[in-house]
A and B are shown apart, each in its own frame.
Chain A
């Protein structure tokens, strides 16, 4: 099966010449639809750079990046926003919600980028917030949401465009472990139910049970690709109960 996203022999070098920084050195990674991959490694290992390259935010210095089989490395800068809009959703460590928009309006903004407006956008935003378990927070502003609730809004926003790929940079770093676990449970269940390929950058080794596969990266190279066998892997998507809203 064609992977949702595949990077082949990707290199990223900053400041070429004597002071060159090789952030990525010949990285190969493919992620299937519905698969949850954790990217782990020490600070400065190239995790965020790899995420940026996969997310078409940075162009690689060399190598191939294919999204649903289409080569996107080397595309002109002006074409990348459309690729991101069509295929990729992002979840950030700091949530990156728009503080002057309510939870529902944050999701509607993502839908607006896809050309979905008015009542359709409102209805769809409600559905997405329902999926992440906080429909009743539709009109609440981020300042009045807990960390876990903000991240749920961010996940709903990231999924608003029905992306093929969800890229999350330390999504639980700003949350306590209990809330973090619930967020990763949510991401995993959505990935499996909607067939979204998920790549999560994380330092947190306590959350490993939520990954289908662990990828270690050091000095810009993938060191140890592995598959994690966890009880969660045995469960089918419909067995995962809807998550209650309780401060998370």
Chain B
């Protein structure tokens, strides 16, 4: 086919620019919103996903990570005695008050773990080591929150709930979904910071023996323990994600913004392709008079839409990469996995071709006799 679609598209550079701008805007908006959704979702459950535990045991009525209530740590011995359990450890997760050097207070989430076991502790350390948490008052925070917490250097001493705390390490990339950063400490130090009685824990993390049947282990534990809920890491992660993203409405808000971006993109592309079609209506009438089938004419219009989609996608991806990179230092992570990039190609194609249907509907109704009008 002679390049009628491509030539018509590039014939009016201004209109093409408007079309591509609309597509790029839609792509960037959708990528940012979905990226935020993915980032938020990841942040809500990243301490669960990086726990290296197979099962999470908490007080009955558990709905999400931050909802935990303290229970007696005597249950720990019952868990350890259960066949199929390779390791089990207490875990604290509780809100606290961080006092900055300038006296201002910030809310934090204190996470208490056993530094000797690779379960529930901090990961991706950029300074210090997990074992440093064994020393008195030791804490590890993420470098992303240094400015928020007034942290300027390793070894700095601050206060948590009126107790002395000393920074022995930094992590990189452990974001909190709420505005309260995670502060990792040993279990004992966390109890002190949180003013908790010594025999209290919030969770018990369980590592199963290799090859253990998880459902069977869970049933066994449920039979031995009273007033607890037991979830696999995957289940608890999904529950926490669902709570924060949908029960609070936060996720719906970002998804609605993504949908808005899609609608805006469709409207802009539909309008410009329609205007182009109207400009070339006589030509489509001539094509019909020459004997072109409706399918032939549709192909011309769809080709225009597809070319716009490909060009817009390429520009949109470049813009999205810049925006995502720029967000890395911010409080909210925008995730941009390759699956999202590939999906956006098909979504962009669908958006543009779908928008072209308004024009297709118009040319279907062309009266070929119009070609005789001077």
Contact = CB atoms under 8 A, between A and B. Distances in A.
Interface stretch (A107-115, A176-184, A211-219, A227-235): A107-115
B2 A112 contact: yes
A82 B292 CA distance: 8
Contacts of B4: 98, 100-101, 109
Interface stretch (A25-33, A50-58, A63-71, A187-195): A50-58
Contacts of A86: 291
A92 B8 contact: no
Contacts of A173: 374
Contact of A101 (B7, B290, B296): B7
Interface in A77-119: 81-86, 88, 90, 92-94, 96, 98-101, 105-106, 108-110, 112-113, 117
Contacts of A170: 374
B369 A92 contact: no
Contacts of B294: 81
Nearest to A83: B291
A160 to B, nearest CB: 9
Given A96-B282, A100-B7, A113 B374 contact: no
Contacts of A94: 374
Interface string B336-369: 0000000000000000000000000000000011
B292 A81 contact: yes
Given A98-B283, A100-B8, A113 B290 contact: yes
A161 interface: yes
B288 to A, nearest CB: 7
A83 B368 CA distance: 14
Contacts of B282: 96
Interface of A: 48, 51-52, 55, 57-58, 81-86, 88, 90, 92-94, 96, 98-101, 105-106, 108-110, 112-113, 117, 157, 161, 169-170, 173
A108 B1 CA distance: 8
B1 A88 contact: no
Given A52-B369, A92-B372, A109-B2, A81 B291 contact: yes
A88 B291 CA distance: 9
A84 B290 contact: yes
Q: Give the 10 A-B CB pairs with smallest separation, nearest first.
A: A85-B291, A100-B7, A84-B291, A105-B2, A96-B286, A57-B368, A109-B2, A81-B291, A100-B11, A48-B372
A220 to B, nearest CB: 16
